[in-house]
Structure 1
Amino acid sequence: MTTNLYLVRHAHSTYTPDELGRPLSVQGLKDAETVTKLLKNVQVDKVISSPYKRAKQTVEGIAEHIGQEIEMMDAFKERRLAEESVEDFHTAIAKVWEDETFSWKGGESNLVAQRRGVEAIHQLLKKYNGKSIVIGTHGNIMVLIMNYFDQSYNFKFWQELEMPDIYQLTFNEEFLIRVRRVWEGNY
């Protein structure tokens, strides 16, 4: 029996230092409507999200469509890069991808963040075997999860993700058997 997980990277957000409460931008809200339209074309049994507002806002339309509340899971929040803002984000993120055990002060290494996300994926695969689950999440943790199952999903892949982006991961029990991109850019 196969289980489908739809990993949804949140739409564009308006930057604020409030990581938890950062909302979608006007364009992000429009793109979230497109996410809903796309996901209406598939059977969705459950919607789960990172507790971050931008991730929830991106998937709330499909939750409303199926008449369910969104289940929050901390495991799908974005990886914490560092305790404080970093001077050069691109250099800082490249460094953690170069060495999966490296972390900036107060941040998570790729290995630690990946373990968090993958443990949650395994829980969902057991709990919702044979179902289709939408997961509102963030780019870095999403790619770290995908990388665990297939290392071709790497730093370069992360750099090319869109905002939003949707990937369907199909599992047979706990084995990844297929990955398909659902989001195809501008609609």
Structure 2
Amino acid sequence: MKKIYVIRHCEAQGQPPEAQLTDRGLEQALDLSEFFSNIQIDRIISSPYKRAVESIRPLSKRLNIEVEIDEKLTDRILSTKNLSDWYEKLRTTFDDIEQKFEGGESSKDAMKRIVQVVEDVFSSKNKNTIIVTHGNLMSLLLKHFNNEFGFDNWKNLSNPDVFLLKSENNNVTFERLWK
């Protein structure tokens, strides 16, 4: 059985790609490293965003595993316009996955990116892989495997958060590990 641990980054100072972790986020990154202390990991893949890479750095160093950067794991852009009602607009994209706002990416397109990464990992030789990404992209991945996963589930994600995806006989299941 192959396992993928999908991690939402730790608490960050903002949304831009260069946003660093907060002091609390740096502590959470150490907690994540400890969380995985008894779990065999073969590979780590991360969003190129600084907050994602910083979230996994302590574990990467401890395991002496290089973090592979994958552009397909970048945060989803809802719109390039500043939307005062972005929260409601985001909610609509969970119900209508083809909904797209100016300069943004539909849920369907974003979902396709992360699903491709996951399918590539499941078809690789590695048994236990970590993928570090962002809350919206993580939610869309989980929605791909269970259409009931929606906006309210996204709202209830934490920073960090960890879900385990298992693939057995071409059947993918997931469970939340981070409490």
Asked whether the two chains share a fold, i.e. TM above 0.5, the reply is yes
Aligned to 1:179: 174
Q: TM-score, normalised by structure 1?
A: 0.91
Partner of 2:10: 11
| Aligned: 1:105 with 2:102 | yes
The 1:79–1:173 alpha-carbon spacing in structure 2 relative to 1, beyond 3 Å, is farther
> Could you tell me how far apart the structure 2 residues matched to 1:180 and 1:102 are?
28
Q: Give the whole-Å Cα distance in 2 for the aligned partners of 1:174 and 1:14.
A: 39
| Structure 1 unaligned spans of 5+ | none
Partner of 1:81: 78
Q: Which residue among 87, 90, 93 is the counterpart of 1:90?
A: 87
State the one-letter code of the partner of 2:4.
Answer: L
Taking the aligned partners of 1:85 and 1:128, their CA distance within structure 2 comes to: 43
Mapped to 2, the partners of 1:75 and 1:173 lie a distance apart of: 26
The amino acid across from 2:143 in the alignment is: N
Gaps of 5+ in 2: none
Q: Retained in 2: the 8 A contact 1:48–1:73?
A: yes
| 2:115 is the alignment partner of 1:118 | yes
Aligned to 2:166: 170
- Whether 2:26 is the aligned partner of 1:29: answer yes
Q: Distance in 2 between matches of 1:139 and 1:5?
A: 16
Q: Which residue is 2:138 aligned to? A: 142
Letter of the structure 1 residue corresponding to residue 39 of structure 2: V
Deviation at 1:150, TM superposition (A): 1.2
Contact 1:100–1:111 (Cα < 8 Å) also in 2: yes
One-letter amino acid of the counterpart of residue 147, structure 2: Q
Divergent runs of 4+, >3 A: none
1:125 Cα deviation from its structure 2 partner? 0.9
Cα RMSD of the aligned pairs, angstroms, is: 1.3
Aligned length: 179
Cα distance in 2 for partners of 1:114, 1:174 equals 19
